[in-house]
Copies of this chain bind each other. A is one copy, B any other.
Amino acid sequence: MKQNATNSKSVSFIEKEKVRSVTGKMRNERFFHDLAETFKAMSDPTRTKIIYALCQEEELCVHDIAMIIGTTNSAISHQLRTLRNMKLVRYNKVGKVTYYSLDDLHINNLFAEGIRHVDEK
């Protein structure tokens, strides 16, 4: 059911109007990149564990997160850096201890929506 009968050249698309309409509503490359990055920040089990733990307790230090999750301090520290770079967590250094917490309530909403999805499947 080709709808581009008006064109002499055979430019192919199945439903011309849909394509035009949706194409007009698309956003720029940066938007899709940032959106993907946001989800990617939560796309690893170690990171979902860290975020989940920080949903239970406002502030946690690296060592305690490692204890809770059952991994090495190094692995946690690396992942916390990723979360920091993606602005999902912030930190507060007191002496030799670095306390991490979720950056804003937005993160909680997004994360909670993901949990709802998993729990209702």
Residues of A that sit less than 8 Å from B by CB: 12-15, 18-19, 21-23, 25-27, 29, 31-45, 47-49, 52-53, 56-57, 60-61, 63-64, 67-69, 87, 97, 106-107, 109-110, 113-118, 120-121
A52-B32, A110-B117, A113-B113 known; A63 vs B22 contact (CB < 8 Å): no
List the B side residues contacting A34 at CB < 8 Å: 118, 121
A19 close to B114 (CB less than 8 A): no
Contact assessment for B32 and A36 in the assembled complex, using a CB-CB cutoff below 8 Å? no
- A72 to chain B minimum Cβ distance, whole angstroms, is 13
A44 touches B36 (CB 8 A): yes
Assess whether A67 is in contact with B19, with CB atoms less than 8 Å apart.
yes
